[in-house]
Chain A
């Protein structure tokens, strides 16, 4: 690592960048291994170690650079690896492939064809990542940097223009000018509600008092969303840079990053980033000689979904029980430690340096009239290409799911897409041409949320999904408001009744009435949106509810009281594998040498159907 002293003035940063320009050498062979959780689960760390060993054995360590980065995006195909020059993407790479990659691609400039992505339409291999539809159809304004930097090395970030926005801000912009820039860029908060960032900063700036705070919401609690984790793990300095600029704009001297404890790797990377930024004087006293002081502390959340609500988040960050409180007063007036506070989400902060570097006009040329820039989504569920995707606001759901996502897995049919986490809703096929934007999604009965996008196919039961979210919200409700605490419980009881096959058509009206009551009579965002999963599924999938209550049938074959497994005796070869797997001992051999399920004993676990090699066991 470079031995550099404190960056005393903005010009020092430019000088340092000049000295680091070797790092941008595009001709130098570079092997990039994804170090994000999704890939490390599948042994990418072992892969990096194998490459390192081979490079050192062959004396190539100086000539070839090995980099372990944050998320490369195309999680479906992990472990992922990029080889530069050429941005060649290798997928599903195993540690045993390391030798061949070094020998062929690095030394001889040849491709290892079996590791390349195959285009499903042409059937041909695609070498360059930028040519793969998954990447080509995106606009990776924020995520692209993660391909090129080692998140544990601040110099990598600086070499690629990191902290230049901060230097520009502290080198001559007034706080008012920074706020004006955010407003003009139409930057809106990425945490869910989409409040205008510039306006939020202005409220806090004009709030009386000397002591102000910046709070970074890194308590990403939505199940099905990991954008913030990936940004924190892939580019932690961008989060810090955004926070420092925000602090300057509102006049804060201290910041807190509230991060969930379920993200241990992100915590470690963030702690290291803070340490390195302090060492270079980018955090601390008199940053860039401007007289402006700012530092951050990291506060670890102990696991509570409601802490994503801003007043609850403040209490959580103070180390207290994270229960929400009535607003107003808003955090811009009474926030952390009772002082004016700006709370922004991780992704919002990462956008801030981009706005400054590009200028508001260029920034907002991407996106829609009301929302500038891009949004990162976690495209997961029953879609072919799962991963982290970034698109301009205004992109349609269809473009994301069928273009970038490649459509539904295993030749199944699309049923619904769930956006916005437990507070969001399920949208049907008819809504696929909806443009992704805060207001459009809300009108359709869902929300943007922080960016989870869970695709469901015909094997997903929407009643079960609605029940799942209510179960989640029930355990996460803080219990302060009666209608949230008890209302969700009652909603859940009705759904349980429907799923058990004891529901009636009247239950649907009751469900709707109660859901609206909960929505209207609770205090915080969690309660107010808790009815969305129920209301949106009732709105778009009433037929499926009716099948449950009227015909006592679960069309997707998920609700166990409403379907049975059956062995097709014409297909059964009599191997007995199913009987061996059955934990309930419910499968017996018949006199004809086939097998039959005793429905009195069967627990409908489905182990038999998964075992049967002939697909002779079906849902009935």
Chain B
């Protein structure tokens, strides 16, 4: 993503040309640009396409990977699939709360971290697993989670 704010009209134009009136791909494309689904963009989408806002909202709340609130700089996804559950993913979630003070679906007040749970990452053999900013981690203990988060925070502090 570039630093320049994306032009809403242009994005909607392109998305509609590509996906027609299929609401889910439209929302996926919007989210690719903004990293979430801003309300004003959804309103514009509705005006432009004639898809009722309620249908757009329905889809946005139905699917797990569509977000109505802004995402943080760093995205933490903890797998809560069955294998991860019985191998202790609950403790990883608690550890994130200990370190960052956020639970699933929440974002830190500085906007740096969002924690989400996912149903299954499909790497059950290395359960419990977590993805931070697209990088997969497996066979985790709460201590590992603390270390990984601390490293990211240290790195961010250095960069600032």
Whether B120 contacts A321 by the Cβ 8 Å rule is no
Query: Is B86 a contact partner of A456 (Cβ separation < 8 A)?
Result: yes
From B22, B24, B58, B142, name the one whose CB has the most chain A CB atoms within 10 angstroms: B24
Could you tell me how many residues of chain A have their Cβ less than 8 Å away from some Cβ of chain B? 57
A322 touches B62 (CB 8 A): yes
B-contacting 9-mer, from A107-115, A239-247, A297-305, A522-530: A297-305
Contact A321 B122, beta carbon cutoff 8 Å? no
Shortest beta-carbon distance, B61 to chain A, in Å? Answer: 9
Which of B2-10, B63-71, B148-156 is found at the contact surface with chain A? B63-71
Q: How far, in angstroms, from A607 to B121 measured CA to CA in the complex?
A: 26
Q: Is B53 an interface residue (CB 8 A)?
A: no
Task: Please give, as numbers and ranges, the residues of chain A lying within 8 Å of B65 by CB-CB distance.
Answer: 261-262, 302-303
A contact residues around B123 at 8 Å (CB): 37-38, 41, 226
Contact (Cβ within 8 A) B122 A262? yes
Q: How far is the CA of A221 from the CA of B98 in the complex (A)?
A: 30
Q: With A454-B83, A456-B86, A605-B94 given, is the CB distance from A319 to B62 under 8 Å?
A: no
Shortest distance in angstroms between B23's beta carbon and chain A's nearest beta carbon? 6
Knowing A381-B86, A452-B82, A605-B91 are in contact, say whether A316-B24 is a contact too (CB < 8 A): yes
- Considering the complex, give the chain A residue whose CB is closest to the CB of B27: A302
Give chain A interface residues in 464-507, CB to chain B under 8 Å. Answer: 465, 468-469, 472, 476, 478
The CA-CA distance from A121 to B127 in the complex, in Å, is: 26
Q: List 22 A-B contacts (CB under 8 A).
A: A37-B123, A37-B136, A75-B125, A75-B126, A78-B125, A221-B120, A224-B83, A226-B120, A226-B123, A262-B121, A301-B63, A302-B64, A303-B119, A304-B62, A316-B24, A321-B24, A321-B62, A322-B63, A381-B82, A452-B124, A460-B86, A607-B142
Extra contacts, 20 of them, besides A42-B126, A75-B125, A322-B62 (Cβ < 8 A), are A38-B125, A42-B138, A223-B80, A223-B82, A223-B85, A262-B121, A263-B122, A299-B25, A302-B27, A302-B64, A303-B66, A304-B62, A305-B119, A320-B59, A322-B63, A323-B62, A380-B83, A422-B82, A460-B86, A465-B85
* B141 CB within 8 Å of chain A: yes
Q: Are B85 and A468 in contact (CB under 8 A)?
A: yes
What is the number of contacts between chain A and chain B, taking CB atoms within 8 Å? 141
Whole-angstrom distance from the CB of B98 to the nearest CB of chain A?
Answer: 6
**B80 neighbours in A (Cβ, 8 Å):** 223
A309 within 8 A of B: no
Are the CB atoms of A224 and B81 closer together than 8 Å? Answer: yes
A320 x B129 contact (CB < 8 A): no
Residue pair B118, A380 in contact (C-beta under 8 Å): no
Distance of A382 from chain B, by nearest CB (Å): 7
Q: Is B28 an interface residue (CB 8 A)?
A: yes
Chain B residue at minimum C-beta to C-beta distance from A302: B63
Contact flags B106-148 to A (C-beta < 8 A → 1, else 0): 0000000000001111111111010000001110011000000
How extensive is the interface on chain B, given as a class?
Answer: 35 or more
Q: In the complex, what distance in Å separates the CA atom of A386 from the CA atom of B129?
A: 15
In the complex, the answer to whether A41 meets B126 with C-beta atoms within 8 Å is yes
Q: Which residues of B contact A421 (CB under 8 A)?
A: 82
Q: Which residue of A lies closest to B83 (CB)?
A: A380
Q: Are A38 and B83 in contact (CB under 8 A)?
A: no
Min CB distance A80 to B, Å, is: 11
A40 near B136: Cβ-Cβ < 8 Å = yes
CA of A301 to CA of B83 in the docked complex: distance in angstroms?
Answer: 23
Docked pose: A303 CA to B64 CA in angstroms? 5
- Are B98 and A583 within 8 A (Cβ)? yes
User: How far does the alpha carbon of A460 sit from the alpha carbon of B90 in the complex, in Å?
Assistant: 13
Chain A, residues 221-232, CB within 8 Å of chain B (1/0): the string is 111111001000
Partner of B120, one of A223, A468, A583: A223
Question: Does A378 sit within 8 A of B, measured CB to CB?
Answer: yes
A224-B124 contact, Cβ under 8 Å, with A302-B64, A465-B86: yes
Within the complex, what minimum Cβ distance (angstroms) separates A71 from chain B?
Answer: 9
Instruction: For the complex, give the distance between the alpha carbons of A610 and B136 in Å.
Output: 24
A321 / chain B contacts, CB cutoff of 8 Å = 23-24, 55, 58-59, 62
Q: Which residues on the A side are within 8 Å of B27 (C-beta)?
A: 302
- Complex CA–CA separation, A302 to B118 (angstroms): 12
| A318 in contact (CB, < 8 A) | yes
**In the bound complex, CA of A545 to CA of B136 (Å):** 37
Residues of A within 8 A of B129 (CB): 41
Query: Counting CB contacts under 8 A, is B19 at the interface?
Result: yes
Q: A454–B86 contact, CB under 8 A?
A: yes
Residue of A nearest to B65 (CB): A303
Query: Could you tell me if A380 and B124 are in contact, using CB atoms closer than 8 angstroms?
Result: yes
Measured between alpha carbons, how far is A299 from B83 in the docked complex, in Å? 28
A491 to chain B, nearest CB (A): 18
Residues A17-62 near B (CB distance < 8 A): 37-38, 40-42
Residues of B within 8 A of A304 (CB): 62-64
Instruction: Contact check, B120 vs A225: say whether CB atoms are below 8 A apart.
Output: yes
| A153 contacts B by Cβ under 8 Å | no
